[in-house]
Structure 1
Amino acid sequence: MAGNIRHWKERNGRYSARIVIPPHLRPFLDNKTELEIQLGGDKREALRKHAAAVASIQRQIGIARQKHETATGQKAKQPAYPLTAQQIALRDYQNQIDFDAELRAHDPRYAQSGVDADEARRYRDGFAGKLSDDELQELVGARLERARLAGNTDAIKGTSEWRALAQALCVASYEAIAREDERNEGDFTGKPSHPLLANAAPIEDTPAPVTFDNIIDDEVKRRARGKDAKPLPDRTAKKYRDHCAAFAKWRKSKNALTVTAAEGKGWIESLQDAGELGNRTVKAMLQNVRTVMNWGKQNDPANFFPTGNPLKDIKAPDYTVLPSYLRAFTMEEAKLVLTAARKEDKAMFRWIPWLCAYSGMRVSEAGNLRKEDFFEVGGRWFWKVTTVGARSLKTASSERRIPVHKALTDEGLLDFVKAAKSGRLFKGDTKDSVLIQPRISTWVRGFIPYDKRPELSPNHGWRHLFEDFCRRDGVPEDARNYMTGRTDGRSQELYGRSDVMLPGLAAAMDRIQAITMTR
């Protein structure tokens, strides 16, 4: 990560160049996950060879990318490892100088042959602009192709970018020939004289990019490890990915290593100025990106922003919290929606409003119910809100068992459950698993339009109303907290909660008076 040489690996005193192969290209490289070239145990020598080794690996990956494009018809939007023409020329020049030194070290005949003056003249004509594109292609086309395969450029012949790069490579070769001639005379002090190379700053190996998705993937894997692991729910991971993607799009970079506090501040201000999202949502987005950055730091505290998360001290937006009663259904609204539900044929619209009205469940929890979640104890029916079956809940306290209220029994809920097939009770038209919340919300807004009741929470409003039922009818606080999946953090919540408590829980539910409905 930060501070490391890109594509550099050190293990047991040995050094190598290593690049992870993008997953979609692995089938074209014998399903390998990475390519590695050993550089030996001498660090200075390994550093000298590193750039050439990386270029060699990038070319292999480039060939795989070419095969992938041919097979799928998909073209990359930009080079994988982009470099400027000056950077490509500088690296090419250095590779030629290194190769010259290697030949001198192994073959005494090499230094006895002079340079080819005609070849040098051709390269001079090349960077002077005297050669056509076809002549440049013949002269440096192979090296241009290597740079393209390495993902350093996507310049196409016939464009000014391609010609500038070809001329830069001519400079590299002309200067390399000049050094070769000087070395043949015993002078190893020569430096490039052409401004393109003479004025070029040394190319520093930058840290390998660490994308937001990389960090989230690592966190997902970390939480899934171990016998009693608590995996990160897919829906939660998606929320983090979506918010990080929005931030990355705004800053035009997915690399989390380059995040600055100024970018974080600018992003939230741009979201506020756009006026499409409330401050509460903007605050949540900032907090989620900040959390992902914290994960990156926790995974590699020595290298990933060792001085601290740059988003840590950014002040989140303030917002006004609506009073709870404004978000809840009124009794008249509840009757209106429950009456409309009676007329529905689709199971989710018919039963989820009723389930939520008499339990305080979250709509997402109700949407995940299965036939197997309903059970009978001592002649009384209950249902489980559980994570069993790869389902997710908001918190650990959300795992609970809820008594079936008499109003639900009278309405025919148990008849519906008993007649249902095994598995999910509420499915989509074409697939079992669907997002219930937006569907229920849109359906409710058909009866209670937004412009008439903008404060109402079409889904969460049942939860607020059920809490008020419990207060009105004297349901004990611990029973209310348990049935709604809330926690007050007291240690007693960690004990008991076996079947022994179910009759008392049912008695507490029976205190709640049914909503007066008319047929």
Structure 2
Amino acid sequence: MLLRMASPIRRDGSSVHYLRKRVPADLTDKAVGVVLRVPVGDETAEVQVGRSGTIKVSLRTHDPREAKVRQAKALAYLDDVWRSMREAPRRLTHREVIALAGEAYRHSKKTWESDPGRATLWNMLHQAALKWDPATAQREMAPYVAELLQRKALRIDDDSSARLAAALHEAFKDATALLERWGRGDYGPDLVEARFPEWKPIAPLRDVPLTVGIIALWTDWAKEARLANRTEKTIEEYGSLLRRFVDFLGHDDAASLTPEDFIRWKDRRLADGLSLKTVKDTDMSVFKSVFGWATENRRLTENPVPKLKLKLGKTIQERPKGFVLREALAILKASSSYVAAPRELPQTAMAKRWVPWLCAYTGSRVGEMVQLRREDVEQRGPYVVVTITPEAGPVKNKQTRRVVLHEHLVECGFLEIVKAAPEGYLFVAASDREKARGRIRAVKNRLCEFARSIVADERVSPNHGWRHRFQTVGGEVDASERVVNAICGHGRRDVSDDYGDRTFKAMATALAKYPRYDITQRVTEADDLAA
């Protein structure tokens, strides 16, 4: 299955896309100084990992579609690098050694095919190579061995390295002889290339005891997940949980896992205070996904994850899931009068001022509003519209949607605030999507704390409470359910929802039925109960 990835980044003031990727936390120290040869189109980019642990590579294209294709290939290469760094150096089979030498031979042909240069130069190199003793050949071929291993993201043992150097020496002699012939104008058939098999690592025999790394399985799973529809956030969360699982086990051997290991983990998590729902919907879901993939792809002979039936009791609902009017007004009042705390980032203070209001009138997820950029808010005829897009940050259903803003927000001056803001994110101190990702979560946490300081009742979510309230009010004022769901970004329930568009006019009509929030209004608990 192929997965869709996050969009490549563009530098400020440039239309050229580039890749920015952090080294996994468990490899940060090990990776410093490592030279990578990242594939970019038909070429490679040489990058040395610095102490910052961040890899930045130009994708060398202005085309967004081509940039996504190139980023997928580059990320797959990096995943191979991380996996090889986590695993012990491997021994190459004889076939693999000759196949890698063939890769170098074909690369030479492709590089010099159109213009091979002077035949005398290639003859000189060929004659020199014929005189090398084994020690000289090892020394001369060492840079080519290193480059080839970097291109293929391989870590091999010393014996394999020596055998590869010898094979490259033979391929070098063959290549210089061919290029000499081309330089003389003889482009007759190449009878040498056929001796090299295709480069395709041969899987070890299954009857040989193997150690299959749990983290290595996740790395390979992530490569497929990244090319379909899993977000980086989800992939990293899976990796984080599996690393904690490895720490709990005290080993990284997936082949030795037993159902009892997962039961022990479940019991420990419950003893640590996690809810049965979290263990079932998060932990077990991760295990089933990654180890199920490993079994289907013949990385494991059987799936070690047991079929646990974790039955959840029906939750007793003691109050509305969303904010009641009194709570909503209290948060919005505090938001309207909010003054930035000492040393608080202006973007965070601005989020506390405006995001609660945006959520109150759109029913959007808090993160969707936190990641709004200046260009995402615009006037469309008589309507002010916000664009919620995965280009800015995570969107649950990964679909871009446009939402009309309630006229009260416009009257409160939100559009003027946006126009006066600099380009980029409104509520996050970041210049691009990659930098914004962690900061979006941080601002969401600050908003959670802000709301919780006003509404202390832990039975209502301090962020998600707005979505429930928006739906509740929509029902009270008889707004179109289909349009309300479209504004909120809820998934469509049946095939009938695929027919017809939810236009700006329809959204504005529905929102006009929503009463304005009057923060001067006094509402008591009794009033809420009566409602």
Q: Provide TM-score, normalisation by structure 1.
A: 0.56
> Which of 349, 352, 356 is the equivalent residue of 1:353?
356
Shift of the alpha carbon at 1:372? 1.0
Shift of the alpha carbon at 1:28? 6.8
- Answering whether residue 435 of structure 2 is matched by residue 439 of structure 1, we say no
Any idea what the Cα deviations from partners look like across 1:42-94, whole Å, max 9, x if unmatched?
A: xxxxxxxxxxxxxxxxxxxxxxxxxxxxxxxxxxxxxx9xxxxxxxxxxxxxx
Query: Amino acid of the residue matched to residue 438 of structure 1?
Result: N
- Answering whether residue 251 of structure 2 is matched by residue 257 of structure 1, we say no
The residue that corresponds to 2:388 in the other structure is 385
Q: Secondary structure at the match of 1:358?
A: helix
State how far apart, in whole Å, the 2-side matches of 1:322 and 1:415 are: 45
- Answering whether residue 462 of structure 2 is matched by residue 455 of structure 1, we say no
Higher relative contact order (CA 8 A, sep 6+): 2
- Answering whether residue 481 of structure 2 is matched by residue 487 of structure 1, we say no
State how far apart, in whole Å, the 1-side matches of 2:226 and 2:270 are: 36
- Answering whether residue 329 of structure 2 is matched by residue 335 of structure 1, we say yes
**Does the Cα contact within 8 Å between 2:211 and 2:254 map onto a contact in 1?**
no
**Does the Cα contact within 8 Å between 2:492 and 2:498 map onto a contact in 1?**
no
Q: Secondary structure at the match of 1:375?
A: strand
Shift of the alpha carbon at 1:338? 0.5
Q: Relative to structure 1, is the Cα distance of residues 428 and 25 closer, same or farther in structure 2, using a 3 angstrom cutoff?
A: closer
**Does the Cα contact within 8 Å between 1:272 and 1:279 map onto a contact in 2?**
yes
Query: Amino acid of the residue matched to residue 407 of structure 1?
Result: H
Shift of the alpha carbon at 1:214? 2.6
Shift of the alpha carbon at 1:268? 0.9
Shift of the alpha carbon at 1:495? 5.1
Query: Amino acid of the residue matched to residue 374 of structure 1?
Result: V
Any idea what the Cα deviations from partners look like across 1:332-381, whole Å, max 9, x if unmatched?
A: 11111100001224111001111111111111111111111112222111
Superposed counterparts of 1:299-378, under 5 Å: 300=297, 302-306=298-302, 309-316=303-310, 318-323=312-317, 325-344=319-338, 345=340, 346-378=349-381
Q: Secondary structure at the match of 1:327?
A: coil
**Does the Cα contact within 8 Å between 1:328 and 1:465 map onto a contact in 2?**
yes
Shift of the alpha carbon at 1:518? 1.5
Q: Relative to structure 1, is the Cα distance of residues 28 and 426 closer, same or farther in structure 2, using a 3 angstrom cutoff?
A: closer
Q: Which has the larger radius of gyration?
A: 1
- Answering whether residue 210 of structure 2 is matched by residue 215 of structure 1, we say no
Query: Amino acid of the residue matched to residue 413 of structure 2?
Result: G
> Which of 277, 289, 295 is the equivalent residue of 1:297?
295
**Does the Cα contact within 8 Å between 1:328 and 1:457 map onto a contact in 2?**
yes
**Does the Cα contact within 8 Å between 1:243 and 1:289 map onto a contact in 2?**
no
Query: Amino acid of the residue matched to residue 504 of structure 1?
Result: A
Query: Amino acid of the residue matched to residue 371 of structure 1?
Result: R
The residue that corresponds to 1:511 in the other structure is 513
**Does the Cα contact within 8 Å between 1:261 and 1:310 map onto a contact in 2?**
yes
State how far apart, in whole Å, the 2-side matches of 1:406 and 1:324 are: 34
Any idea what the Cα deviations from partners look like across 1:399-430, whole Å, max 9, x if unmatched?
A: 32111002211222111111111111112499
Shift of the alpha carbon at 1:496? 5.4
Uncovered stretches (5+) of structure 1, i.e. residues with no partner: 1-21, 42-79, 81-203
Q: Provide TM-score, normalisation by structure 2.
A: 0.55
Shift of the alpha carbon at 1:456? 1.6
The residue that corresponds to 1:104 in the other structure is none
Any idea what the Cα deviations from partners look like across 1:409-465, whole Å, max 9, x if unmatched?
A: 12221111111111111124997551122111111122223xxx1212101111111
State how far apart, in whole Å, the 2-side matches of 1:374 and 1:315 are: 46
The residue that corresponds to 1:394 in the other structure is 396
**Does the Cα contact within 8 Å between 1:282 and 1:317 map onto a contact in 2?**
no
**Does the Cα contact within 8 Å between 2:212 and 2:253 map onto a contact in 1?**
yes
Q: Secondary structure at the match of 2:301?
A: coil
Query: Amino acid of the residue matched to residue 448 of structure 2?
Result: S
**Does the Cα contact within 8 Å between 2:371 and 2:428 map onto a contact in 1?**
no
Shift of the alpha carbon at 1:246? 2.5
Query: Amino acid of the residue matched to residue 245 of structure 1?
Result: R
Shift of the alpha carbon at 1:254? 2.8
State how far apart, in whole Å, the 1-side matches of 2:33 and 2:403 are: 50
State how far apart, in whole Å, the 2-side matches of 1:366 and 1:324 are: 29
Shift of the alpha carbon at 1:39? 4.5
Query: Amino acid of the residue matched to residue 377 of structure 2?
Result: F
- Answering whether residue 432 of structure 2 is matched by residue 410 of structure 1, we say no
**Does the Cα contact within 8 Å between 1:261 and 1:314 map onto a contact in 2?**
no
State how far apart, in whole Å, the 1-side matches of 2:36 and 2:444 are: 44
The alignment covers a number of residue pairs equal to 321
Query: Amino acid of the residue matched to residue 258 of structure 1?
Result: S
Query: Amino acid of the residue matched to residue 278 of structure 1?
Result: S
State how far apart, in whole Å, the 2-side matches of 1:286 and 1:206 are: 27
**Sequence identity, in percent?**
23
- Answering whether residue 284 of structure 2 is matched by residue 280 of structure 1, we say no
Any idea what the Cα deviations from partners look like across 1:226-275, whole Å, max 9, x if unmatched?
A: xxx53x2121112212222232222222333332211111211121123x
Query: Amino acid of the residue matched to residue 293 of structure 2?
Result: W
The residue that corresponds to 2:422 in the other structure is 421
Any idea what the Cα deviations from partners look like across 1:276-326, whole Å, max 9, x if unmatched?
A: 22222222222222222122223x1x34234xx332411225244353954
Q: Relative to structure 1, is the Cα distance of residues 25 and 339 closer, same or farther in structure 2, using a 3 angstrom cutoff?
A: closer
State how far apart, in whole Å, the 1-side matches of 2:436 and 2:249 are: 38
The residue that corresponds to 1:472 in the other structure is 476
Q: Relative to structure 1, is the Cα distance of residues 427 and 233 closer, same or farther in structure 2, using a 3 angstrom cutoff?
A: same
Q: Relative to structure 1, is the Cα distance of residues 429 and 340 closer, same or farther in structure 2, using a 3 angstrom cutoff?
A: farther
Superposed counterparts of 1:40-55, under 5 Å: none
Instruction: Give the RMSD, CA atoms, in angstroms.
Output: 3.2
State how far apart, in whole Å, the 1-side matches of 2:324 and 2:446 are: 21
